[in-house]
Amino acid sequence: MSELGHKGWIDKAAAIRFRDKAFIDGKFVAARSGRTFASINPATGETLAEVASCGEEDVDRAVASARRAFASGSWSRATPARRKEVLLRLAQLLHENLHELALLESLDMGKLVADAATIDVPGSAGIFQWYAEAIDKLYDEVAPTGSGDLVLVRREPLGVVGAVVPWNFPLDMATWKCAPALATGNSVVLKPAEQSPFSALRLAELAMEAGLPAGVLNVVPGLGETAGQALGRHMDVDCLAFTGSTAVGKMFLQYSGQSNMKQVWLETGGKSPNLVFADCGNLDAAADMAAFGIFFNQGEVCSANSRLLVQRSIKDAMVEKLAERAAATQPGDPLDPASKMGALVDARHAANVMRFVEAGKKTARLVTGGEQVTVNGRGSFVQPTIFDNVSPQDTIAREEIFGPVLSVIAFDDEDEALQIANDSVYGLAASLWTDSLSRAHRIAERLHAGTVSVNTVDALSPMTPFGGFKQSGFGRDLSLHALDKYTALKTTWIKY
């Protein structure tokens, strides 16, 4: 990535080709209805392509293709060595096509191309590689029984997995679902967000190039109320994995009950607290990571550290440091490696973020930011915004904004900090800063969150599970635990 400057990325963007059709049974096909939707570059407002808008009939085709592929055994009964070989090759192809995939991410949803090229695409390749390497290292069980009985406990693939993923990390989130589902032998029907379909379509094409049989990975771009709902209600989908809003997650639970009781695994909203105690010896590091935790990816992160809880004696010093970092993190052209923040995903989302900002101006002190801006006269950009003197009951402290908006809340002691941190309908992630090992363990134990990061923010790895409590959903992405979502236990009892 480093060899490409601003002009280099612009030149590559001018030559890029967008896959604009559904990918079903190993081929790109138009929606049966002929309908399309516009995919728009949020940094410029320009239409990138008219993309096939799949409906119920297209989802039926994709599910039928996935079921045929599963029943054929071409992937579901392939040897672990073969599945490992294909997914390792796919990981390599992601690396080989890094520039193209990074541009698809950036042009489609506004993220910095530098981040996509150094974080998103290599991260996705790493996850496919990690699950590929795990395939032939997982063992089934032999249950303890008496003489004359042999009892085998095996994990078997479920069949057809539906995956509905969001627009904030299009390739990453598709990978988080597809890698473990494919590693365990399932077929997948993937519905990317309508705001960001291109990297998912390219992923499916690269998977075929890597050797994945036709029908094992299908991609149905379309709107949530059509393609998403059709997948959620489908009678021949065995499992539905979803990352997105809590409201839509609840709808998928309803769809399951209204159809075939398919398993539904949800990773939904968050309002993650970041607690900074006065015994934190490196406030500059805490400020650096607090700024990263809310401004990275324009704040469009489900686990963004959007509530900063600071012990009162150091609060003013912390706010001053954060204001300096916000000033250095202004929006710019996402294709310019020098830019520090990209565009929000679309004009509608930017307007929604600004509604929260305007509400915050009425109840808290605006420290910096608070304006919607343009870059070169175009685009959906919002300044990094910090509010101080926020009440834990304020709207901006309770609702998920999904933008670069930070609420600073003061506390006096541990109990008050924990009460504020846990007073949320969400429980996805939390962070804390302290130089006391005892305090770190004490606070981490009492925080109601799926991941607690100590002296850093939002820590994750393919080796550790990611997911939350309460209305942040259930089930876990990443780690070996993700394989549990896509497999079922089968007992075979043999008398001899």
Contact call for residues 281 and 435 (beta carbons, < 8 A) = yes
Question: Does 302 qualify as catalytic in the annotation?
Answer: yes
Question: Does 267 qualify as catalytic in the annotation?
Answer: yes
Active-site residue, from 105, 267, 300, 400: 267
Nearest CA-CA partner of 449 in 429, 423, 475, 434: 429
Active-site residue, from 54, 100, 302, 400: 302
Joined tokens for residue 391: 């009440």
- 155 forms bridges with which residues in the sheet? 489
Contact call for residues 177 and 189 (beta carbons, < 8 A) = no
Catalytic positions are 267, 302
